[in-house]
Amino acid sequence: MQQAAETAAVILAAGRGTRAGGDVPKQWQPLSGRPVLARALAAVRDHPGIGRILLVLHPDEMARAAPLLGGRVAAVAGGATRAASVRAALEALAAEPPARVLIHDGARPLLPPAVIDRVIAALAHAPAAAPALAVTDALWRGIDGRVAGTLAREGLYRAQTPQGFRFAPILAAHRAHAGAADDDVAVARAAGLDVAIVAGDETNLKITHPEDFARAAQLLAGAEGRAMDIRCGNGVDVHRFAPGEAVWLCGVRIPFPRGLEGHSDADVGMHALTDAIYGALAEGDIGRHFPPSDPQWKGAASSVFLAHAAGRARARGFAITSADVTLLCERPKIAPHAEAMRAELARILGIAADRVSVKATTSERLGFTGREEGIAALATATLVAG
């Protein structure tokens, strides 16, 4: 009967760790749109060698897991320690014991099927097998931020999961084990079980810190064969000089013997940047969103346009990672105002000022800007899907 050869899986998700940031435990936080735990579960469930799957959950989070359960997947409440949680799952499986059990960490969402293959294959020859990566970096001992010694790395491994076991001996080992344990390999070894090391995989990372989400999302995008969605847009604008006493450029008012003519405040730099963002989104230009024929935009502050474009980017799931504006004029001198312009654009965009550039050039007195008939601006914006 097939049941006799079954490999069951236990996925540990009872921890409440929030070192990864946020107020929700890391295994429930979304990774590229799906909870970390849902991805870990899918990796195990989609492997043809796995039968029953038990999720070990914190008692307060049983309801949250409901969408993940059903069919071969069931849940059991975890205990106060990792060892107690595993014990609870093993006891639940013991009513109908499988031949083997793989115990996986629910915070490792990118488990490659080949790692599962290697663990199961090794269990034909050993009562226990676990994936690991040999340590390749030098290892230091540090005290108070200073290197206090170098450790030999030969024979050292970084342990991963799933850790695999023949069921009867690991159940007996857990029943005999008192107190806490780092992992199930520690419990197995305490019971005298031989543990084979198989090759782990760098993509099988454990989500621990906030930056691990970004790294996992990149690996996921690569694994799914799609490039990160990075978009670049450009914008160009020109406004003619007219009588006045100041010009608005990139949100900064600069006293000047003339003004710029336009329907709004004629902020040529901000218009170019706004169009660059619309361009990256392939959403037309300022004229489409704020028709000049509509009197409500007469004399409008251009920050309204730029804030709208930034809002459209956010609504579409993009972060603006770079904005670069070049103003083309003989006068006024831009350099004394460039820092204030960067700060103002960054404020409106809702991004850090070090992602915003404002610079200027003359046209060597050539052309309409050289004759000081008006000011031109060029802008580039880069957007990255988050």
> What residues make contact with Mg ion under the rule CB under 5 A?
237, 271
Closest to Mg ion by CB, 206 or 271: 271
Least spacing, CB of residue 238 vs Mg ion, in Å: 7
Mark out the alpha helices in the chain (DSSP H runs). 36-45, 82-94, 113-122, 167-176, 184-190, 210-223, 268-281, 286-289, 303-315, 338-349, 367-370
Q: How far is the CB of 237 from Mg ion (least distance, A)?
A: 4
Minimum distance from residue 259 beta carbon to Mg ion (Å):
14
- CB distance 10 to 100 below 8 Å: no
Q: Which is nearer to Mg ion, 183 or 237 (CB)?
A: 237
Pairing of strands 73-77, 157-159: unpaired
Q: Which residue is nearest to Mg ion (CB)?
A: 271
87 or 271: CB nearest Mg ion = 271
Complex with Mg ion: residue 184 or 237, whichever CB lies closer = 237
CA-closest candidate to residue 165, choices 202, 137, 124: 124
d(CA 325, CA 270): 8
Of 271 and 342, the one with the shorter C-beta distance to Mg ion is 271
Q: How far is the C-alpha of 259 from the C-alpha of 251, rounded, in Å?
A: 14
Question: Which is nearer to Mg ion, 135 or 300 (by Cβ)?
Answer: 300
**Euclidean distance between CA atoms 330 and 366, whole angstroms:** 10
Angle at CA of residue 189, ends 185 and 194, nearest 5° = 95
Contact residues for 256 (Cβ-Cβ < 8 A; gap 6+)? 244, 245, 246, 247, 331, 332
Q: DSSP string covering 31-51, please?
A: ETTEEHHHHHHHHHHTSTT--
Q: How far is the CB of 69 from Mg ion (least distance, A)?
A: 56
Minimum CB distance to Mg ion smaller for 78 or for 269: 269
For residue 252, the minimal CB distance to Mg ion (Å) is 16
The distance of closest approach from Cβ of residue 20 to Mg ion in the complex, given in angstroms and rounded to an integer, is 44
Whole-number minimum distance, CB 275 to Mg ion, in Å?
Answer: 8
